Chain A
Amino acid sequence: MYASYEWLKDYIEIEDDPIALASKLTMAGIETEVISQQSKDLETVVISRVESVEKHPDADKLSVCKVSDGSNEYDVVCGAPNVEAGQLVALALPKTVLPDGMKVKKAKIRGVKSFGMICSEKELGLSDDHSGIMVLPADAPIGAGVINYLSGSDAMFEVSLTPNRPDCLSHIGLAREIAAIQQTKARLPSFSISEAAEDVHTMATVSIEDKDLCPRYSARLVRDVEIGPSPEWLVKRLNAVGIRSINNVVDITNFVLMEYGQPLHAFDFSRIRGRKIIVRRAKENEKITTLDGQVRNLEKDDLLIADEGGGIALAGIMGGHESEVTDATKDILIESAYFTPSAIRRTSKRLGMHTEASHRFERGVDPVGVIAALDRAASMMAKLAGGKVLKGAIDEGKRKWEKPQITVRTDRTNRLLGTRLTKSEIGDLLRQLGLEIISAGDDLVCEPPTFRVDLEREVDIIEEVARIYGYDNIEATSPVAPIAAPIATPEDEITEIIRNFCINRGYYEVINYSFESEDTLEKLNLVKPGKKARQVKLLNPVAETAGVLRTSLIPGLLRTLVFNLNRQSTNIKLFEFGHVFSPAETTDLLPHEENLFGIVFSGRRAPENWASGDERIDFYDMKGFVEDLFSKMGINAIFNVAEGVGLYAEGAAATIESGKHLLGVIGQVDEAIADTLDLPQRAIVAELRMNALVKLYGAVPKYTPIPQYPRSLRDLAFVIDQSIQASNIIEAIEQKNIKYLESIKIVDLYQGKNIPPGRKSLALRFSFRSTAKTLTDAEVDKQTDIVTQVMESKFKAELRK
């Protein structure tokens, strides 16, 4: 909400300047910002006279002006098309900082010195007009500050109110708050109404059919008004809070809204059929055309202001088109009502109509304050629109409003706040806020004013005590708590291990959105054709490309890869931790979430450097990375050929398994899929399941004694069929439980010259060791013979000599 400093002064003597006031309100929980006090910021923008205008010698569109502020004459270069000699203009002198942050400096523009700048309205933050420089009236005082001349010393505040404080959505409300802070008193406007003899009850009636949704409805009738422009003071008040003047009657309802915080509605009384207001629920599918010309389709929970012929206003939200006040309107029925907050909110939310009225009603207006606002508006209509106020006010639902009586315990207050306040100090603070202390026995019992709809419980009152006492005055203390040494959860611990492992190898961590476009899975071939993707859909996504929750980290990683390739990165290694989602199992309410670790490699193996070759990353870089990681984590895993995972190139994907656990997948992205992603080069991805890693993580290693005797190495190269996989060979040899065999390494893979087509040469390095003695050559040779036999018999291998 916008508020005006000058306007506030109608209701309270303010001790502070606007900036200090805003700060005090902020520190009392009413977040207030001075949004324009340009008279101060723009003191060095002065009204000046353009004495002469000449063309810039070196630029067609620029002029060189001589400008005088009454005491000095300056040369100023100006680019505006409308500059003319004799104009009074706004001259920003050097060192002025304009609202958009631009600093005006002495400058040379195309060789001509310019001492300052002639401003447009936009440059001064006054409007969006940037068509030319602002030209001031001929009688403006030369040498004076432009802003001060235009708007006086007023300051405009932007007040960001939390939803619990609707009482501050008005100048009187803010004045009350300022009074509590200053420990002074606010004064309400004083006015009188001279009523005509004719009684309103003889002319109009109001009937509330649904008292739950509308507990109170009051109205007055003002006859023979003359619709016309508002007086200047009223226009200025409204402008100061960002409201445009329409006509005297509409302006009065807006003025009272901003003064009391009570939304009013003015009906053209002649349009109310049957002279009767009926407050009722809408019928299913009932329609009303609101002031903005839109036809609104209603439901039976919507509250409607109707007459005998149908709806004339959407209660608490917006008036109806048919009963709108026009230039021809003579008689005005003013509505001032209290509607049930949740009812207004339901309707305004469903219809997407957020208005000044609904904003206040759904937070709660003062049910007792409706009459004061109604009278204020009637009195102003008599005064400013020549209207005749009929005698009396209709007041349906009038009654004594129950105020809650709230007990506030001194010790509870002090315990919660960490203060040492006495009962009487607490009482004083509450009285400052307009609460009535109705009993000060052992505990205080207080009654909040009706406009404080947020005060219902003891803790609400304690908060008020803290607020007015001042959070600054509450001593910061250190809580007493047992010593604790929290340890990370296994998942957090492993995440950190992996993260550090990646960073130390030069990889970058990324965070992608948890959303995906619905067709991503199909595009990436992650679902089989014809099968429905198992995805969690959002009902109200922010964009169509973010309609479902991700089921894999890979799409995001690949997108990020492409993004960076397009920005000339050549060596990309990215990783991410994040949740993926799949639809809930039948009995669960929430979708299934799983934490994954994803990684993508593409481009050079090493950063571009004179000493590193131009080798490109391939499948084995990723596999080696995973193997190293597992070795660090004490995890034994095997890689099995993965088939039919469409994302990956045929024959370039593996599942990673350990016992019954599927740890993840690794593979090279299929070329056709890379094309759909505009990915121009080979990319290798891997995705690992964190919960499986947690289960397998060997946190505490077991010690094995270091061998005492030397090992013997034997290199054997075999020529075998192309199709035989390394793991088949190792498995077959290991199955033989060959004595002394400690490890097998694959040290060379060769195809080509000297090897028959369809065959390959695989060189294996065998390490033999005994825990009891140094092995002799003969002992080792005996074992390698077994290896050769296995190779020959099982794989038709040929030992290369």
Chain B
Amino acid sequence: MADLKKEIQELQQQASDAIKAATDEQDLSAIKNNYLGRKGKVTGILRRLPELPEEERPEIGQLANQVKKALDAELADALTGFKNAPKQSVGLDVTLPGRFMGVGRRHPIVQMEKKICDIFSGMGFEIARGPEVEQEYYNFEALNFLADHPARDMQDTLYVHQGEVLMRTHTSPMQVRVMEGRRPPLRVICPGKTFRADTPDASHSPMFHQVEGFMVDEHISLGDLKGVLTLFARQLFGNDTPVRFRPSFFPFTEPSAEVDIGCLICGGKGCRVCKDTGWLEILGAGMIDPAVFGFVDYDPEKYTGFAFGVGIERVTMLVYGIDDIRMFFENDLRFLSQF
């Protein structure tokens, strides 16, 4: 019995030493297994209890249980010690840049086009797109641009066949194309590329982008035009943006208007960008001319409507402070990555 007692005490000593020598949680769990586990050495002694003479059993059993408890406590302490001990560093320099792939961008013109389209989609306008090479009929005639009239000088035209096929000078032909095939009520916007016979310089480009829009129904008024386009301008440029409408002329609208917003650069005080007027022109608009309705066979007595056209480059240049329209088509990544 003394041997057994001794053995137990030695086991305790061994286990205790091992716990002290343990360097991590894994060691501890191995020790626990080794001594206190199902096949552990201390457990083994407890298992052998039935083999002992009955009178020895309580003492040995008690001793073994004490040792087990004591080791459990030691293990628990050691575990807590490990848990609280400062952890070993993995050693990464987390300030090194990550394995990035870079972020791409939509072209700024496409971004602005989407912004404009989204605003009008929100107001129930659908999107229609059309050909970039257009018939003279849709680009001019059906929009009430009379032949031999100076109004045609407002738009220098690139021709494919003289007087018949041309690069559309605006997205307005889509007004006629859409109305021709459908009846009011209509709410449509038509974004796209447009072309003029302009040599490129800081403010001219032979190719640019417009969003044309129009709304036709039985009771659409100039007041409605003001309402819708004011809402649009404020959505695009901010809720407090001053908006003004002033009379203008387009062959396919009457009355016609140009829409200005308070200068984004100087806030209306007057600067070089707004030429000291405090205002920036952002779009042209007007009530669709009865002559246009004539071309698509709508009764101008029954239907009225407004139309408008936004120059995307112009608006984008104003918003971002870009001073050269050619930047958009040069596609310098150092430019594109800014938007």
Measuring CB to CB, which residues of chain A are less than 8 angstroms from any residue of chain B?
23, 26-29, 31, 33-34, 101, 162-165, 341-342, 345-346, 362-363, 415-419, 457, 459-460, 462-463, 466-467, 471-472, 474-489, 491-492, 499, 502-515, 536-543, 546, 549, 560, 563-564, 567, 569, 571-574, 578-579, 581, 589-591, 593, 606-607, 609-612
CB-CB under 8 A from B197, the residues of chain A are 540, 542
CA distance A488 to B290 in the complex (A): 30
Q: Is B317 an interface residue (CB 8 A)?
A: no
> Besides A33-B277, A466-B255, A502-B104, 15 other CB < 8 A contacts?
A29-B247, A31-B248, A162-B248, A163-B149, A417-B222, A471-B245, A471-B246, A472-B245, A479-B219, A491-B129, A499-B106, A511-B107, A512-B331, A539-B160, A541-B158
Closest residue of chain A to B304 (Cβ to Cβ) is A416
CB-CB under 8 A from A513, the residues of chain B are 206-207, 329
Q: Is B323 an interface residue (CB 8 A)?
A: no
Q: Say yes or no: B124 contacts A481, CB within 8 Å.
A: yes
Q: Say yes or no: B135 contacts A508, CB within 8 Å.
A: no
Pick from B17-25, B44-52, B77-85, B223-231 the stretch touching chain A: B223-231
CB-CB under 8 A from A472, the residues of chain B are 244-245
Chain A to chain B: the 8 pairs with minimum beta-carbon distance, closest first: A418-B223, A29-B247, A418-B221, A162-B249, A484-B124, A486-B126, A506-B102, A476-B226
Closest residue of chain B to A463 (Cβ to Cβ) is B255
CB-CB under 8 A from B126, the residues of chain A are 484, 486-487
Q: Say yes or no: B223 contacts A417, CB within 8 Å.
A: yes
Interchain nearest-CB distance for B103 vs A (Å): 6
Task: Provide the B99-124 mask, 1 if CB < 8 A to any CB of A, else 0.
Answer: 11111111101100000000001001
Interchain nearest-CB distance for B203 vs A (Å): 15
Q: Say yes or no: A23 contacts B277, CB within 8 Å.
A: yes
Q: Say yes or no: A467 contacts B255, CB within 8 Å.
A: yes
Pick from B1-9, B61-69, B162-170 the stretch touching chain A: B162-170
Contacts A479-B220, A514-B207, A546-B206; is A492 near B195 (CB within 8 Å)?
no
Q: Say yes or no: B331 contacts A474, CB within 8 Å.
A: no
Q: Which of B109, B217, B220, B332 contacts A563 (CB 8 A)?
A: B332
Q: Say yes or no: A590 contacts B277, CB within 8 Å.
A: no
Q: Is B74 an interface residue (CB 8 A)?
A: no
Closest residue of chain A to B276 (Cβ to Cβ) is A34
Contacts A537-B160, A540-B159, A541-B158; is A463 near B101 (CB within 8 Å)?
no
Sample 24 A-B pairs with CB under 8 A, ordered by A number. A28-B247, A163-B149, A163-B151, A163-B153, A164-B249, A342-B149, A345-B148, A467-B247, A471-B257, A472-B244, A474-B223, A474-B226, A479-B217, A486-B121, A486-B125, A508-B336, A511-B331, A513-B206, A537-B160, A538-B158, A538-B167, A574-B331, A590-B165, A607-B102
Q: Say yes or no: A417 contacts B224, CB within 8 Å.
A: no
Q: Say yes or no: B99 contacts A611, CB within 8 Å.
A: yes
Q: Which of B121, B134, B222 contacts A418 (CB 8 A)?
A: B222
Contacts A415-B221, A510-B331, A538-B158; is A481 near B104 (CB within 8 Å)?
no
CB-CB under 8 A from A589, the residues of chain B are 135, 164-165
CB-CB under 8 A from A491, the residues of chain B are 129
Q: Is B54 an interface residue (CB 8 A)?
A: no
Q: Is B328 an interface residue (CB 8 A)?
A: yes
CB-CB under 8 A from B124, the residues of chain A are 481-486
Q: Say yes or no: A511 contacts B99, CB within 8 Å.
A: no
CA distance A457 to B293 in the complex (A): 15
Q: Which of A31, A489, A499 contacts B127 (CB 8 A)?
A: A489
CB-CB under 8 A from B206, the residues of chain A are 513, 515, 542, 546
Q: Say yes or no: A536 contacts B160, CB within 8 Å.
A: yes
CA distance A418 to B125 in the complex (A): 21
CB-CB under 8 A from B162, the residues of chain A are 539
Interchain nearest-CB distance for B164 vs A (Å): 7
Q: Is B289 an interface residue (CB 8 A)?
A: yes
CB-CB under 8 A from A502, the residues of chain B are 104
CA distance A635 to B59 in the complex (A): 80
CB-CB under 8 A from B90, the residues of chain A are none
Q: Is B53 an interface residue (CB 8 A)?
A: no
Q: Is B181 an interface residue (CB 8 A)?
A: no
CB-CB under 8 A from A511, the residues of chain B are 107, 109-110, 328-329, 331
Task: Provide the B303-339 mask, 1 if CB < 8 A to any CB of A, else 0.
Answer: 0100000000000000000000000111111101100
Q: Say yes or no: A418 contacts B224, CB within 8 Å.
A: yes
Q: Say yes or no: A101 contacts B272, CB within 8 Å.
A: yes
Closest residue of chain A to B93 (Cβ to Cβ) is A610
Contacts A417-B255, A474-B226, A486-B126; is A514 near B99 (CB within 8 Å)?
no
Q: Say yes or no: B125 contacts A590, CB within 8 Å.
A: no
CA distance A537 to B255 in the complex (A): 38
Interchain nearest-CB distance for B306 vs A (Å): 9
Q: Could you say which of A164, A491, A579 has the most chain B C-beta atoms within 10 Å of its C-beta?
A: A164
CB-CB under 8 A from B132, the residues of chain A are 514, 579, 581, 593
CA distance A362 to B147 in the complex (A): 12
Closest residue of chain A to B196 (Cβ to Cβ) is A542
Q: Is B94 an interface residue (CB 8 A)?
A: no
Q: Could you say which of A416, A506, A507, A612 has the most chain B C-beta atoms within 10 Å of its C-beta?
A: A416
Q: Is B72 an interface residue (CB 8 A)?
A: no
Q: Say yes or no: B247 contacts A572, CB within 8 Å.
A: no
CB-CB under 8 A from B276, the residues of chain A are 34
Contacts A479-B215, A542-B199, A590-B131; is A460 near B254 (CB within 8 Å)?
yes
CA distance A589 to B227 in the complex (A): 40
Q: Which of B104, B153, B287 contacts A503 (CB 8 A)?
A: B104
CA distance A485 to B126 in the complex (A): 8
Q: Say yes or no: B102 contacts A571, CB within 8 Å.
A: yes
Q: Is B202 an interface residue (CB 8 A)?
A: no
